[in-house]
Structure 1
Amino acid sequence: MIRLSEARKNKLISWIFSKQNKDGGFAFPHPLPSMSSATFYAVSSLKMLQVEVPNKNKTIKYLLNLQSANGKYYSIYTAYFSIKALSCFNLIPKNPAGAVKYILEYIARWKKISKYYMQVASPLETICYSVEILTLLGYKKGLGEISKLVLKFLNDDGGFGIRDNSEIITTYFALFTLHLIGYSLEKPRKTISFIKKCQNPDYCFASTPRVYSHFIEDTYYGIKSLELFNEKIDKPKQTFKFILKCQNEDGGFSRSTGGGCSTLENCFYAVHILDSL
């Protein structure tokens, strides 16, 4: 249950509504063209707030039309966010078999890659997205093999990341992928220890144990990582107050209390954190 006052909740809902385009999709910043990611964040947040999406049929049509006739998508991100948003309506893509084929082809490209080959980012995020899509579409064949790919990024500190640099966000994506395929870590306490070390002494999570910062995305992924082990954060009351302070006058949420614009992504993090606390 999300502990928001009616006034705060109504301001948030109104702000989210204001980001919807005529095609039913959502955009940020508005009024740019609708985006699959913005639409998912809006739809998921509204579902968590137990509010119906305005112009729902238009939104569904927008999401369905993001898939090409051959089942492919513009990118793995478009596939993930559109299919996840559709799942909020208990729907699947028009061509689920084509979507599965597209995702399997994407995963196959990563299987022989070393974590030291990565120059910018690991594939853990998009691999997680891929496995979640396949799970949503009821495809389970051979998913256990993906554990080998994910475990390439397990570091000595118990976290996951490229070039031995563990971060809370990449650790979550790795853990959730392993959770989806039913794989249990051999040394879970080491990973739990890494996650807890990412907690700041006062409240919230930082990106790594070596950093002191308070951002809403790190806190979301930290909380969700601990939930996979049925563990709780150390400072829930202080974290709750932090999230409330991230709500701007316009009703949306920024990523920190230091100012910044409201975004649909930050609203998604906020409502899910509040639901977990």
Structure 2
Amino acid sequence: MTSLIIDLPRIKQDASRYILERTCPGGGFCFYRLDEPSPQDTYFALATLDLLQVPCDAEPTIRYLHALQHPDGGYASLVQAFYVLSSLQFLRCQPLSDPSAEVEHLTMQVVDLALRPADASASFCHALYQLATLRAILGLEWHDSQRTAILQAVDAFRQKDGGFGVESATLPDTYLAASIFRNLCSSVPLDSLIPFLRACEHPLFGFTGKPDTALFFLEYLSAGLALCQELAYTPTFPSACLSALLRCQTDTGGFGRAHLAIASMDNTYRAIHGLTLLEQMGVL
């Protein structure tokens, strides 16, 4: 148990106010508070409200999300499909048209890239994660050849220290790899990632992005706590995790990437998700 005394209900109330104040009149959410919603802001807003168990007026947002789907069931990109379909899942609502054919098409594109490891990049790692998550949401089975190509692509990111990343292993990329392995029911023993996770722990920040470094950003802490959940591992410095996380909350109620940074939808989600995980681990 942490010895810190915090007003958790107020922290969550301020965060929910931050999100709800950024609801767009025409549906969706926009972090800079104009009526210019984006699928990304909408996804992180709904994910945060879901964690906080705070309701919102769903109908305008459902109409906004439905309007982003093409008549043939497709979307502008994998990224848009991920954010829209994930958002609809939070709202317990189906898309207007079955997106399965579109997701299969996107899968073929990603698998084609996976067969060319020289093209591997950080954005490609995120694409692998989004595709694996999207197929899990829709309950789509993998063909053996697709599954093999994706797992081999992820394995290409494996570094000598046991973590995953493009040029060197990072905690966020290692979490993405673990999530992909889980969604694809890989035989890779996830507990093999624990030494890398432990090497990223830090007594002042809870977690840092790479072993033997002392740089803090909220995405490092968020990935560290999420990976702890994946591996059923209790963080060594829970009080440091909590202190570092709370320093990221701004006067708006939202959370920034670091202390004194501007709040954003994605970082507010990371913070509330982190708090939720600390509660579930029994360290709050």
TM-score under structure 2 length normalisation: 0.88
Contact 2:74/2:99 (8 A) holds in 1: no
Name 2:153's counterpart in structure 1: 149
Alignment equivalent of 1:40, drawn from 43, 47, 53:
43
Name 1:229's counterpart in structure 2: 231
Name 1:195's counterpart in structure 2: 197
| Structure 2, gaps ≥5 residues long | 1-5, 279-284
Name 2:254's counterpart in structure 1: 252
Letter in 2 for 1:112: L
Query: CA offset at residue 106 of structure 1?
Result: 2.8
Query: CA offset at residue 72 of structure 1?
Result: 1.9
Residues 193-202 or 103-112, more deviating: 103-112
Contact 2:26/2:35 (8 A) holds in 1: no
Partner of 1:110: helix, strand, or coil? helix
Sequence identity of aligned pairs in percent? 24
Contact 1:252/1:267 (8 A) holds in 2: yes
Contact 2:26/2:60 (8 A) holds in 1: yes
Over the aligned positions, Cα root-mean-square deviation in angstroms equals 1.9
Name 1:96's counterpart in structure 2: 99
Contact 2:207/2:241 (8 A) holds in 1: no
Contact 2:202/2:237 (8 A) holds in 1: no
Contact 1:168/1:221 (8 A) holds in 2: yes
Q: Does 1:137 align with 2:138?
A: yes
Name 2:281's counterpart in structure 1: none
Name 1:112's counterpart in structure 2: 115
Aligned residue-pair number: 269
Query: CA offset at residue 4 of structure 1?
Result: 5.1
Contact 2:113/2:119 (8 A) holds in 1: no
Name 2:265's counterpart in structure 1: 264
Partner of 2:202: helix, strand, or coil? coil
Query: CA offset at residue 133 of structure 1?
Result: 0.6
Name 2:211's counterpart in structure 1: 209
Residues 8-17 or 36-45, more deviating: 8-17
Contact 2:58/2:91 (8 A) holds in 1: no
Contact 1:92/1:137 (8 A) holds in 2: no
Contact 1:255/1:266 (8 A) holds in 2: yes
Change in Cα spacing, 1:32 to 1:210, as seen in structure 2 (3 Å) is farther
Letter in 1 for 2:271: A
Query: CA offset at residue 109 of structure 1?
Result: 2.5
Query: CA offset at residue 102 of structure 1?
Result: 3.4
Q: Does 1:180 align with 2:169?
A: no
Query: CA offset at residue 137 of structure 1?
Result: 0.7
Name 1:161's counterpart in structure 2: 165
Contact 2:171/2:197 (8 A) holds in 1: yes
Query: CA offset at residue 190 of structure 1?
Result: 4.2
Contact 2:15/2:254 (8 A) holds in 1: yes
Structure-2 separation of matches of 1:166 and 1:213: 15
Partner of 2:65: helix, strand, or coil? helix
Letter in 2 for 1:67: Q
Structure-2 separation of matches of 1:244 and 1:16: 17
Contact 1:25/1:63 (8 A) holds in 2: yes
Structure-1 separation of matches of 2:270 and 2:115: 33
Contact 1:100/1:139 (8 A) holds in 2: no
TM-score under structure 1 length normalisation: 0.90
Name 2:282's counterpart in structure 1: none
Query: CA offset at residue 20 of structure 1?
Result: 1.2
Structure-2 separation of matches of 1:268 and 1:69: 31
Structure-2 separation of matches of 1:175 and 1:261: 30
Name 1:63's counterpart in structure 2: 65
Letter in 1 for 2:165: G
Contact 1:26/1:39 (8 A) holds in 2: yes
Partner of 2:245: helix, strand, or coil? helix
Query: CA offset at residue 45 of structure 1?
Result: 0.5
Residues 43-52 or 68-77, more deviating: 68-77
Query: CA offset at residue 25 of structure 1?
Result: 0.6
Structure-2 separation of matches of 1:70 and 1:189: 42
Query: CA offset at residue 98 of structure 1?
Result: 3.1
